[in-house]
Structure 1
Amino acid sequence: MTYAERIRTKLTDAFQPVELDVQDESHKHRGHVGHRPDGETHFHVRIVSAAFEGQSRVNRQRAIYRVLKSELEERVHALSLDVQTPAA
């Protein structure tokens, strides 16, 4: 399973999103710290879920970081997040 698939699976299981887009943007970071030639180091995630209602932006991001802790420790160097609720 790729890291992108792992991210999708974990976020789906944890937050039951109505929208989830996981983009590997590693190619944009060639030559930067953490980049690997085979990719899967820099991701952009857009997630829309009712699970984030009533939470601040920081708490939404912290919840995602907790769910993806092992991926961030193992390989993922950078994670750009767009976290919304269906009402937003």
Structure 2
Amino acid sequence: MGIGHRDGYSASVEGFLYFERRPAVRLAKTNAHTLVLADRCELPPGAEGDLVIVVDGEETSRRVMLPEGIELGQRTANYITAAPF
């Protein structure tokens, strides 16, 4: 799936969540408040990590917090921005 970019639509879009001492979690989709997970994971309420989006090789990130955490097998999760980068 591509997203709008200054020169048209991107050819490559990837999203990841990074938490300390854990493997990266791949994302299927995201918006301003919700994540759709491509990988299974389990994280406690209040977990903080980095949301990284890579569009055509250009990486952006922000610090996010998962107020409700993620239960194993859960496909979507709400997040809030803890610190924009």
Q: TM-score, normalised by structure 1?
A: 0.31
Q: Choose between structure 1 and 2 for higher RCO, CA contacts under 8 A separated by at least 6 residues.
A: 1
Q: TM-score, normalised by structure 2?
A: 0.32
Question: Which has the larger share of helix?
Answer: 1
Question: Which has the larger share of strand?
Answer: 2
